[in-house]
Amino acid sequence: MMRALWLCLGCLMLALGVIGAFLPVMPTTIFLILAVACFSRSSPRLEKWLLDSPTYGPSLRAWREQGAVSRKGKAYACVGMAAGYVLFYWSAHPSLALAIGVGIFFLASAAYVVSRPSPKIDGSAGTRPGE
């Protein structure tokens, strides 16, 4: 029963990640990180499939093994959060209190992302661990 629940949750996270790949204001990687975590409890085959993905696998492995985010990933995340905030402010016309609250949330989220280490490179092979 629990395995099926983890599998369904993993599929939902994967679907949200795919949607995020096409919508500029919706994140992708966080949903794929959650999908990998769910699949690790339900489907080793799907977990391996995501971790071996040429597009997202290196980022997912860096997060899993080192808690790391690449400089490019940090930049995209911060630009995406800034764009999301501008879109929110422009379209919702929030009250001052709500605008400040959402702004603080985005700033705290950006600070967390920026504070993550960059992936360490394995000096012997010139590749990142897990590649």
31 or 126, which is more confident: 31
The pLDDT > 90 percentage for the chain reads: 76
* Residue 121 backbone class (left: φ over 0; alpha: ψ -120 to 50; beta: rest): beta
**Confidence category of residue 106, pLDDT binned at 50, 70, 90:** very high
Residue 123 has pLDDT above 80, yes or no: no
Instruction: Report pTM.
Output: 0.75
CB atoms within 10 A of CB 130: 15
Mean pLDDT across 61-76: 92
Structure tokens belonging to residue 3 = 């395995």
